[in-house]
C-alpha cells in the first residue's frame, strides 16, 4: 500500500513561469550562472543562490537564511502565488527525443521508513545532514524525489484524459524543452487517485536518494513540533516504462603505473578484447564495455567465469570496479578518488574521446545502461549500486512548484 496526498503548492504566476523556473543549479557553468543572474531578475537561481558573488565568503547558516529571505521576497513581490486548495498535478516534459508524464504529489515518510518506498543507491551522511539543515532553515523544498511505480492501465488512461483539459502552464525553455502542467483539485479525482496508489504495494526511488533521506532526518528532528507537512515529501511519480535510464561513463587520469601493453594483458584475464581502432563503438548489451585508450576504441566482452554470481556482482558497473578499477587501476573510493570522473551517457562519446585526447585523462570506459528491472531487483534485495551507476531522466524544473514545510 502506497500513500500519496495532494498538497497546497506555491507556484510562479503563469506569465512568469518560463522566466522563474530553471535547471538544477549544478547544471550551470559559472559563466551561464552569472549570465542568468545578471539578466533575468525572475530566475529562481536568485533564490537558491542569493548574493552569488559572495557565496564563498559567508557561512552556510547565513546562506540558508539568505535563501529563505529571498524566497519570501519572491512571494511578497507576487512572483509566487500560494494555492488555497490541496491538489495533485500532472506534469509533462517534452524533450527532443522523448515525452515524460507523471504525477506530482506528497509521499509518505512512514512508507519510506518501512521500505515501502525502496532505494537502490547509498547516501553520504554529510550531504544528508547538509540538505536537512537547508530544509530546516528555509522551510521549503522545490526538488521532488523522482519515484517510479508499476504501469497501471487505469492511471495511464486517466492521465491521457487529463492532458486533454486546459493546462495550468504551457511553456518552452531555452534548452528547447516543452513543459505542461495540469492541476487536479476535484475531490472525486483526488480520492480516486489516492485509492489507485493504495493498491500499489511498493514504489521505487529513481533519483533523489539524498533528498528523501534528508526529509526523513528532518522529520525525526522536528516532528514533535506538530507540523503535518513534515510527514510527507514532494515527489514526481512516473510509470516505470516512462523513465529513461542512461549509464555514467568513467574516465581515469592514469594507468596506475602500468604500460599500455601491461594494462591490456591484465584486462585480457577477464575480458575478450577487440580493437575497433577509430570506430566510435559503444556497448550493445549487458557484459559489454567500451574503452578508449591511446587514440583507439576497444570492445571488451566480459568472460562469465562465475555463473553463480550475485545480482550485484552481475551489475556492469560493479564488474568494472571489481575487475578493473580497483585491482588494476588502484581506485578504491569511487566517490572521492580524484583520479576518476564521470560523464552522463546522454553525452556523446566524442566528449569522452576529446577529454582523453587532450591528455588530462589516460583511459575512458563506456558502459551499457542498466534497465528498470535490474534496479528494482537490487532494491528488492536491499542491495546498493556503486556510485554514479545510473543517470535517470526526467529532470524536474527548480521553482516550478514549492512544497512548504
What's the pLDDT tens digit per position in 152-202? Answer: 999 999 999 999 999 999 999 998 999 999 999 999 999 999 999 999 999
Which segments of the chain belong to CATH 3.90.1530.10?
Answer: 4-242+393-404
Quick one: average pLDDT of 276-287? Answer: 94
Side-chain-facing half-sphere of 272: CA atoms under 13 Å: 7
For residue 136, what is its C-alpha cell? 530546516
The closest alpha carbon to 283, from 246, 312, 308, 254, belongs to 246
Kindly tell me if the per-residue pLDDT of 305 is higher than 70.
no
* Residue 123 CA: distances (Å) to CA of 114, 131, 216, 371, 388: 17, 12, 13, 21, 12
Quick one: average pLDDT of 136-140? Answer: 95
* Residue 289 CA: distances (Å) to CA of 323, 324, 374: 12, 11, 17
For the beta carbon of residue 211, count every other beta carbon within 10 angstroms. Answer: 23
φ/ψ of residue 38, rounded to 5: -75, -35
Kindly tell me if the per-residue pLDDT of 306 is higher than 70.
no
Vertex 225: Cα angle to 220 and 227 (nearest 5): 90
Kindly tell me if the per-residue pLDDT of 307 is higher than 70.
no
For residue 214, what is its C-alpha cell? 534528508
Q: Which of 25-29, 110-114, 250-254, 296-300 shows the lowest per-residue confidence on average (mean pLDDT)? A: 25-29
Residue 134 pLDDT level (bands cut at 50, 70, 90):
very high
Residue 264, pLDDT score:
97
| Architecture of domain 4-242+393-404 in this structure | Alpha-Beta Complex (3.90)
The residue length of the chain stands at 405
Rg (CA), the chain: 23
* Residue 235 CA: distances (Å) to CA of 90, 155, 232, 250, 322: 12, 17, 9, 30, 34
CA 337 to chain CA centroid, nearest Å = 22
Quick one: average pLDDT of 356-368? Answer: 97
Kindly tell me if the per-residue pLDDT of 309 is higher than 90.
no
Residue 348, pLDDT score:
93
Q: What is the CATH number of domain 246-369?
A: 3.30.1760
Whether this prediction's pTM lies above 0.75 is answered by yes
pLDDT tens digits, 314-354: 999 999 999 999 999 999 999 889 999 999 999 999 999 99
Side-chain-facing half-sphere of 397: CA atoms under 13 Å: 30
Residue 51, pLDDT score:
60
Kindly tell me if the per-residue pLDDT of 54 is higher than 60.
no
Residue 87, pLDDT score:
98
Kindly tell me if the per-residue pLDDT of 144 is higher than 60.
yes
In contact, 152 and 166? CB cutoff 8 Å:
no
Residue 363, pLDDT score:
98
Residue 207 pLDDT level (bands cut at 50, 70, 90):
very high
Which segments of the chain belong to CATH 3.30.1760?
Answer: 246-369
Residue with cell string 578504491: 332
pLDDT tens digits, 27-53: 888 888 888 889 999 999 999 887 654
Residue 213 to residue 217: CA distance in whole angstroms = 6
Residue 182, pLDDT score:
98
Residue 52, pLDDT score:
52
Residue 122 pLDDT level (bands cut at 50, 70, 90):
confident
Residue 57 pLDDT level (bands cut at 50, 70, 90):
low
The closest alpha carbon to 109, from 238, 237, 229, 236, belongs to 229
Residue 281 to residue 368: CA distance in whole angstroms = 12
Kindly tell me if the per-residue pLDDT of 394 is higher than 80.
yes
Kindly tell me if the per-residue pLDDT of 98 is higher than 70.
yes
Residue 308 pLDDT level (bands cut at 50, 70, 90):
low
Amino acid at each position: 500500500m502506497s500513500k500519496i496526498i495532494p498538497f497546497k503548492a506555491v507556484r510562479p504566476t503563469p506569465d512568469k513561469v518560463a522566466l522563474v523556473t530553471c535547471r538544477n543549479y549544478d547544471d550551470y557553468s559559472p559563466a551561464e550562472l552569472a549570465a542568468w543572474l545578471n539578466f533575468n531578475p525572475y530566475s529562481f537561481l536568485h533564490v537558491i543562490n542569493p548574493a552569488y558573488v559572495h557565496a564563498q565568503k559567508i557561512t552556510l547558516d547565513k546562506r540558508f537564511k539568505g535563501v529563505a529571505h529571498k524566497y519570501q521576497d519572491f512571494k511578497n513581490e507576487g512572483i509566487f502565488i500560494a494555492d488555497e486548495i490541496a491538489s495533485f498535478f500532472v506534469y509533462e516534459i517534452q524533450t527532443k527525443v522523448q515525452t515524460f508524464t507523471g504525477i506530482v504529489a506528497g509521499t509518505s515518510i512512514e512508507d519510506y521508513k518501512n521500505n515501502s518506498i525502496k532505494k537502490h543507491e547509498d547516501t553520504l551522511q554529510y550531504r544528508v545532514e547538509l540538505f536537512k539543515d537547508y530544509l530546516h532553515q528555509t522551510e521549503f523544498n522545490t526538488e521532488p524525489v523522482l519515484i517510479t511505480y508499476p504501469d497501471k492501465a487505469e492511471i495511464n488512461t486517466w492521465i491521457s484524459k487529463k492532458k486533454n483539459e486546459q493546462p495550468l502552464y504551457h511553456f518552452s525553455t531555452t534548452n528547447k524543452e516543452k513543459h505542461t502542467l495540469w492541476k487536479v483539485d476535484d475531490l472525486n479525482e483526488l480520492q480516486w487517485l489516492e485509492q489507485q496508489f493504495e493498491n500499489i504495494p511498493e514504489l521505487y526511488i529513481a533519483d533523489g536518494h539524498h533528498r528523501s533521506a534528508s526529509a526523513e532526518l528532518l522529520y525525526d528532528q522536528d516532528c514533535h513540533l506538530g507540523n503535518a507537512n513534515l510527514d510527507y515529501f514532494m515527489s514526481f511519480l512516473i510509470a516505470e516504462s516512462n523513465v529513461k535510464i542512461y549509464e555514467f561513463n568513467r574516465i581515469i587520469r592514469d594507468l596506475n603505473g602500468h604500460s599500455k601493453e601491461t594494462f591490456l594483458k591484465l584486462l585480457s584475464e577477464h575480458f575478450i578484447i577487440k580493437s575497433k581502432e577509430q570506430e566510435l563503438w559503444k556497448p550493445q548489451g549487458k557484459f559489454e564495455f567500451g574503452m578508449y585508450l591511446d587514440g583507439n576504441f576497444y570492445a571488451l566482452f566480459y568472460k562469465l567465469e562465475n555463473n553463480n554470481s550475485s545480482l550485484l556482482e552481475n551489475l556492469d558497473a560493479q564488474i568494472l570496479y571489481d575487475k578493473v578499477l580497483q585491482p588494476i587501476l588502484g581506485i578504491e573510493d569511487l566517490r572521492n578518488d580524484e583520479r576518476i570522473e564521470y560523464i552522463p551517457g546522454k553525452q556523446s562519446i566524442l566528449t569522452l574521446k576529446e577529454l582523453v585526447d587532450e591528455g588530462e585523462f589516460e583511459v575512458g570506459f563506456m558502459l551499457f545502461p542498466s534497465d528498470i528491472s535490474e534496479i528494482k531487483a537490487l532494491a528488492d534485495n536491499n542491495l546498493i549500486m556503486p556510485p554514479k551507476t545510473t543517470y535517470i531522466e526526467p529532470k524536474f524544473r527548480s521553482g516550478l512548484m514549492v512544497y512548504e514545510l
